[in-house]
Amino acid sequence: MNGFVSKVNTAVAQSVVGKWFMLEGSSHPRPRAGTLFSTELRAGFATFVTMAYIISVNSLIISDTGGPCVCDYDPLDPTKGGVSPGTSAGGGGAPATGAGDMIAYCSTNQEYTSCIDIVRKDLIVATAAMACIASTAIGLFSNLPLGMAPGMGINAYFTYTVVGKFGSGKISYRVALAAVFIEGLIFLVLSILGLRQWLARCIPRNIKVATGVGIGLYLCFIGMQSSAGIGLIRSDPATLVGLGGCNNEYLDASGACLAGRMESPRTWMGVLGLFIISILVLYKVKGAILIGILFVAVISWFRGTSVTYFPYDPIGDSRFNYFKQVVSFHTIQKTWAVMDFQLNTGEFWLALITFLYVDILDTTGTMFSMAQFAGFMDPKTGDFEGSTPAFITDALCVSLGAVFGTSDVTAFVESGAGITEGGRTGLTAVTTGICFFISLFFSPIFSAIPPWATGPALIFVGSLMTKSVTEINFNYIGDSIPAFLTLAMMPLTYNIAYGLLGGLLAAVVINGTVYIIEKLSGGRLVPPNKNEKDPVMSFRMGPQGEGVLPPWLVRLIRKIKGQDPLEHAEHGRGAVPRISEETLPAPSAPASPMVDEKKDNIEMVSKVMPDQFAENPTLLTSTSSGVDSLSSRRMSHSHHRNSISADHRGEL
C-alpha cells in the first residue's frame, strides 16, 4: 500500500498539478519542501471535518431572519397577533405591541414557519456551495491551505442585530444582503490597492483582541438561548434575562419561564452535547465539534420521544418526510439573488460599515495568523505569499455569498487542523472544497439537525474565542477601558456594532484627553505608568510604516528589477530562516555524515516549527529528509494567536 501511495505522490508531483501547487519533486522552481499529494488530501479532509458544523449552524442562524418569507402579522388586528385599535401603551395611539408580539405570533403561523423551513434548506445548500466555491478558489489561485465558508459571529450580527428575528429589525433580509454584496465590491477595491492590511493595522491592538472576545461572548449568548441554542437562558420581565430550560407549556407570551426551570429534556441534551465536545477536545479528537453535534442530532431523530425534532404535527411530518430522502439535491427556491438595494437609510450604512470592519479584522487576521502558523510569513515585508489573490478571492466570494442568500464568507481558523496534518499547498483547500461539494447531496441530513444540537458548538467556539482576553493590556487604563467596553457591550447590547463604536469612542476620548493635557502642560502632567501603554500604530502602508505601496505592486517592481518577487524569509536580510528546499536536504540526497552540519539543520528547523508539528514532525518531512530525529525535540517558537488559540487549532 505504501508503495502505491508513493507512486501516486511521485506521479502527481511530476504532473501539471504538482507544478501548479508547487509540490515537492515537481518542476516548479520553488517547490514547497515536504509536500506530498497524499498528505494534502488528508489535510483537506481534516479541515472539512472541523468545518462541517457550519453547514447546519449557519443555516439555522440565518433562517431566523425569516429570509424573504412574509408573516401576515398586523399590530392592529387581534386575529393576526395585534390588539384592538383603541388599545395603546404610553399614549399617542401607539399599539401595545412590539417585536416580541410579532415574533410570538409568527412563530406559531404554520404558513410562515413552513416557508422558513424551505429557507433553511436553501441556506444549507447555499452554505455548502459557498464553502465549496470559496475553498476551491483560494486553493487554486493563492495556493494556500485555507478553508473558507460563511463565517460565525458575523452571521449572528447579520441575523439578530441587522435584520432581527423574523425580520423584526430595522432593515429587511433583502436589503441586508445588498449591504453584504456592496461590502464585497468594496473589499475587492481595497484588496487590489493593498488597503485591507493597512485598515486592520489602524485599529488599536487591544480593541482588535477585545472584538474577538466580545464576539465569542456573543456566540455563547446565542448558543444558550432557544432560537439557535439549548434554551438555557430565557427572557425575564424583571432582569431582562434569566434561567430557562423549561418546556413550552410553561412559557408565557414573552417567552419567560413561569415554572419548570431546567426540566426541559432538550436543554439537557444540549448540555450533554457540550460535555461530549469538551471531553473529545480535551483528548484531541479530530472533528470533536461535528461528533458532538451528530450525537445529539441522531438521538433527536427518533420520533415519539421528548427530545424529537420530528413531532407528530404538520411541521414535524414535513421535516421527517424530507429527512427520509437522505440523499437529495435541494434546489434553492427563495434565497437566490433576492437583494434589494435600498441605500437611503442610516441603518443600511451602519450595517455596511460594521460588516466591513468586522470582516477586515476576521478574515485578514485569520489569514495572517494561519500563514504564520504554516510558515509562509515574510518578516521583512510583513506579508505572505499569495496574499493579494487570497484577499481578492475572499472579496469576490463575499459578494457571491450574498447572491446565494448568506452572510459574509471568511477564512476559518479551523484551517489550522489541516495545517497540523501537514497541509502546505492549495491542494488542501481544494480537497476541502470537494468534500463540501459532496455534502450538497446530503442536505436532508443537515436540515434535520435541531438547534439544541448546534447550540453546544456555539458555546464551545465562543469559549475558545475568549481565551485571547489575556492579550489585552490591562495595565494601562487608556488601553483596558476601551477594550473592556468593546467586549462587554457586544453581548449585553446584542449588537457587535455598538461594542465596536463604544470601544473606539472610549479610546479616542480617554487617550485624546491625556494627549491634550500633556501638550497643554508642556509634558509635565502625564500618567505615571504611561510607559505601559501600547505603542501607537503607524498609518503608513508598509508593515513597519516604511512604505505606501501595496504588497503586490512591491513584488511586481522586484520582478521588473530582476529580484526575487516573493522574497521569503530565508532571503530577507536579518530574517529568521524557515523550512524550505534550501534549509532541508533534498529527499533523494543522503543525509550529511557531518554531525555538526546535521545538528545545525535541526536547530534551524526547530526555531520555526510550530509546537504541534514538533510533536509529530513527520507531518512536514519524511525520514529521508535527514531530520527525523526531530521527534525527540520540543520546539519553542511562539506564534501570533488568533481568536482561537494555537493550542486548539488542531483539535477542532
Classified as helix, coil or strand, 475 is coil
Taking alpha carbons only, the member of 282, 264, 262 closest to residue 274 is: 282
Quote the percentage of the chain above a pLDDT of 90.
21
CA distance 580 to 378: 13
pLDDT 10s digits, 538-552 = 555 554 444 556 666
Q: Give the Cα separation of 607 and 577 in Å (integer).
A: 8
Q: Letter for the amino acid at 212? A: G
Q: Is residue 508 within 8 Å of residue 501, measured between CB atoms?
A: no
pLDDT score of 334 more than 50? yes
Among the listed residues 558, 524, 495, the one whose alpha carbon sits nearest the alpha carbon of residue 158: 495
With a cut of 80, say whether residue 19 has pLDDT above it: yes
Give yes or no for residue 398 having a pLDDT over 90: yes
- Please check whether residue 179 is in contact with residue 163, taking contact to mean a CB–CB distance below 8 angstroms: no
- Residue among 167, 28, 199 nearest 102 (CA): 167
- Cα radius of gyration (the chain): 26
Residue 23 zone, left/alpha/beta (φ > 0; ψ -120 to 50; rest) = beta
The pLDDT value recorded for residue 330 is: 83
Extract the C-alpha cell encoding 586: 533534498
Model confidence over 437-471: pLDDT tens digits?
998 888 788 778 888 988 888 788 788 878 888 88
Q: Are strands 383-384 and 377-378 parallel, antiparallel or unpaired?
A: antiparallel
pLDDT at 114 over 90: no
Contacts of the segment 10-18: beta carbons below 8 A, 24+ positions apart: 12/37, 13/37, 17/427
Each residue's pLDDT tens digit, 150-199: 987 788 888 888 888 888 888 889 999 999 999 999 989 888 887 776 77
Question: Which single residue is written with the C-alpha cell 530582476?
Answer: 562
Q: ∠ CA 473-467-395 to the nearest 5 degrees? A: 90
β-pair partners for 149: 410
Contact residues for 248 (Cβ-Cβ < 8 A; gap 6+): none
Per the structure block, which three cell numbers stand in for 280? Answer: 473529545
**pLDDT tens digit sequence for 72-93:** 877 766 666 665 555 444 443 3
Burial of 587 (0-12, 13-18, 19+ CB in 10 A): middle
Q: Tell me the C-alpha distance between 611 and 178, whole Å.
A: 43
Reading the block at residue 198, the C-alpha cell is: 493597512
The H or E element that residue 479 is part of is: helix 477-492
pLDDT band for position 53 (cuts 50, 70, 90): confident
Calculate the CA 501 to chain-centre distance. 21
- Say if CB 3 and CB 15 are below 8 A apart: no
**Confidence bin at 631 (pLDDT 50/70/90):** very low
Tell me the pTM. Answer: 0.66
**Three-class SS of residue 236?**
strand
User: Residue 108 and residue 134: Cα distance in Å, rounded?
Assistant: 37
Predicted pLDDT of residue 514: 93
CB 67 within 8 A of CB 119: yes
- Burial degree of 313 (CB within 10 A; 0-12, 13-18, 19+): exposed
Q: What SS3 string covers 607-644? A: CCCCHHHHHCHHHCCCHHHCCHHHHHCCCCCCCCCCCC
Asked if residues 277 and 456 have their Cβ atoms less than 8 Å apart, the reply is yes
Q: Compute CA distances 377 → 19, 23, 108, 380, 570, whole Å.
A: 21, 19, 53, 9, 11
Residue 60 is which amino acid? L
Secondary-structure breakdown of the chain: helix, strand, coil percentages, each rounded to the nearest 5:
55, 5, 40
User: What sections of 14-109 are H helices per DSSP?
Assistant: 16-20, 37-51, 53-63, 99-106
Q: Closest by alpha carbon to 316, among 114, 494, 592?
A: 114
Residue 627 has pLDDT above 60, yes or no: no
State the residue for C-alpha cell 442568500: 405
The grid coordinates of residue 320 equal 421527517
Per the listing, cell 504611561 goes with: 530
Phi, psi of 87 (to 5 degrees): -80, 135
Average pLDDT in the chain: 77
Residue 518, pLDDT above cutoff 90: yes
Contacts of 385 (CB under 8 A, 6+ apart): 143, 371, 376, 378, 566, 568
Average pLDDT on 200-226 reads: 81
Residue 406 confidence (pLDDT) = 92
Average pLDDT over residues 224-230: 81
Q: Mean pLDDT throughout 90-116?
A: 68
Residue 226 to residues 25, 45, 65, 230, 251: CA-CA distances in angstroms? Answer: 53, 32, 15, 5, 12
Q: Which amino acid is at 549?
A: L
510 within 8 A of 482, measured Cβ to Cβ? yes
Cell of 14: 511530476
pLDDT for 566: 56
